[in-house]
Amino acid sequence: MPDAPGQTDPMGFVIKRVYDRAEASDGYRVLVDRLWPRGVSKERAELDLWDKDVAPSPELRTEWHHNRERFDEFAERYRGELDANDAARALVALGEEHDRVTLLFGARDEQVNHAAVLIEWLGGHGASVDRDA
């Protein structure tokens, strides 16, 4: 929300749980999970894109399985996957096409999840990232 008249909302990539209500301020909504989130209808998700290919590989996701103690190892390996992933580079370009891109994820933990790694990777590869959203 703008703080002063004439000030615009911050732009760039943000992350949000897919279970949270869709809002107009979300802009372009992209689900970045390989699996469809339980209990969420396609209508409720209000997606513009389901980008399965930018999610961690099935092998990495299965090995990690949201184990907090192994998050650093997971993050390092996932960043390696992103570096070699054409879909990740396409996501950077998508951010140039839209003022706001909300990356949606299904994990319960809002801090320890692949979307947190992904948004940091995007910021390190020239994408505008709004970490305060």
- Tell me the pLDDT tens digit for each residue of 3-55: 444 334 457 999 999 999 999 999 999 999 999 999 999 999 999 999 999 99
Alpha carbon dihedral 25, 30, 32, 36, in 10-degree steps, equals 110
According to the model, what pLDDT value does residue 1 have?
Answer: 39
Judged by average pLDDT, the poorest of 19-23, 61-65, 92-96 is 61-65
Closest CA to 113 of 47, 50, 53, 61: 61
Per-chain mean pLDDT for the chain: 89
Q: State residue 93's pLDDT score.
A: 93
Check whether 132 has a pLDDT greater than 80. no
Nearest by Cα to 48 from 23, 24, 31: 31
Compute φ and ψ for 101, nearest 5 degrees. -125, 120
Strand partners, 31: 50, 104
CA dihedral in degrees (101, 107, 113, 117; nearest 10)? -20
